[in-house]
Amino acid sequence: MENLSRRKVLTLGAALGIAGMAGTTGTAWAWSGKGSIAGSGTGADPFQVWDDTADAVAKALLAEGKVAAVNTAWESWIDNNAPLPAGLPDYLVAYLQQVNKLPSWADPAKLAASEKLYTRLSSYLFVSETLGSGIMSTVIPREARAVYWSAGGADMKQRAAKTFTFGYDLHNSKAWAPDGHFVVTANKTRLVHAAVRNLLPTSAKYQSGADQPKPISNGDILRTFHSVATFARSNMLKWNIALSSAEQEADLHAWQVALHLLGVQEQFIPQTWADAEAQAQQMLWPVLGPTEEGVSLAKTLLGYIENPTLGLDSGFVNELVRYLLNDQMGDWLGLPRDYAQAALVRLEWPAYVAFREGATKIMPGSFYLFDQFVRGISMLYLNNGTSPTQTPITLPAANRPGA
């Protein structure tokens, strides 16, 4: 039975429109750096590469007990062009002055094109990235365990809101503008990762199931990228949303810059979508599977979304998850079946997209249900529904209580 499940996982990439060479859990890293934006690589395994500079800064902040003061100081630091706030330690200022900027290879025209594209696709991206990628993260074993045992795992609504803010700021119509937010958001997120890398190795319960010395390697960040961006692109194509070659290039370029801002080395960042798909086929799809921590996280996340005030019952939500991912993942997470809702989702969601895209003039009967869902799920995670744009990103000072 286990081997059968594994074979099903290995075909998941094809089922989702992901092409490339199949990988298997435990195989040596084989993706070529020739497919990266650097055009070459050392042959290093990204799962053995972390972020030493950011980790050293986070280690000092934790050791000196300055996390709370930093969180207070940078709460108002939001805009890309805003000066660094007062009250930060000198070494943190020096670090941020070095990294809080675009790489020299960033293409302003492509970034501007991504802003236009994401404005057009925002509704679909909300669905793909929250209910799709968000739940997929719970069947990425390393990610599920790291999230569960970190401080964020104890308050998943707030943690999900911060994750949503990252995507919201990236997909904003002025993400890269001086008064946009994404560069700052990405750099705060990078330091959050660094803090977690310092904290989780001190958790006995996390370490008992860990298969790496510390979490959130370059490989883990890339794995998350594929579960969000590569997966979203496959959904847009599956839903017959028109995407020009230039728009797809702009989409990838925005993520290339985002990965750089998160501390991923250029030798690992895919150069083209074909390179990204080949990388995902090796590092993401073969490793998906259930964990006790992931099942718990999924149940918590779905509980937030199954909100009667939004008209979203559990059957609708569960079947939409199964539609976005697949029944194998739904079974791993123990999502009960509701075949009436399954029929509605599978028939009406494509009709909803077609109507919104102007491919048909026939409005589906469920149009307002899906529209309400898209609006509701976005507000749910924007500072727990209290802010239209922002959830503050803060550094953790400890792991999950009891970890």
Cα distances from 88 to residues 186, 211, 375, in angstroms, run 18, 35, 37
Q: What is the DSSP track for 352-382?
A: HHHHHTTS-S---TTHHHHHHHHHHHHHHHS
User: Which of these ranges, 153-167, 275-289, 372-386, has the smallest mean pLDDT?
Assistant: 372-386
Of 211, 29, 188, 41, nearest in space to 100 by CA: 188
Does the structure show a pLDDT above 80 at 10? no
How far, in Å, CA of 294 to CA of 298, rounded?
Answer: 6
pLDDT score of 305: 73
Indicate left, alpha or beta for 20 from its phi (over 0: left) and psi (-120 to 50: alpha).
left
- Tokens standing for residue 260: 């750089």
* Mean pLDDT score across all residues of the chain: 89
* Model pLDDT for residues 310-352, shown as the tens digit of each residue: 556 788 889 999 999 999 999 999 999 999 999 999 999 999 9
Helix (H), strand (E) at residue 330 = helix 327-332
Residue 4 has a pLDDT of: 36
Question: Residue 12 pLDDT more than 80?
Answer: no
**pLDDT score for 311:** 57
Closest C-alpha to 287, from 323, 332, 234: 332
For the segment 96-109, the average pLDDT, to the nearest whole number, is 97
Tell me which residue of 174, 148, 73, 171 sits closest to 402, measured CA to CA. Answer: 148
How far is residue 172's CA from residue 200's CA, in Å, rounded to a whole number? 32
pLDDT in tens, 192-224: 999 999 999 999 999 999 999 999 999 999 999
- Which phi and psi (to 5°) does residue 344 adopt? -60, -50
Q: Residues with Cβ < 8 Å from 95, sequence gap 6 or more?
A: 53, 54, 57
Whole-number Å distance between alpha carbons of 19 and 286 = 13
pLDDT band, very low/low/confident/very high, at 386 (cuts 50, 70, 90): low
Split at pLDDT 50, 70, 90, the class of 161 is: confident
Taking the complete model, does pTM exceed 0.85, yes or no? yes
Which residue, 81, 82, 162, is CA-closest to 395? 162
Nearest to 138 by CA among 300, 336, 290, 320: 290
CA 35, 126, 381, 141 dihedral sign is negative
Q: What single-letter DSSP state applies at residue 150?
A: B
* DSSP H/E element including 234: helix 231-238
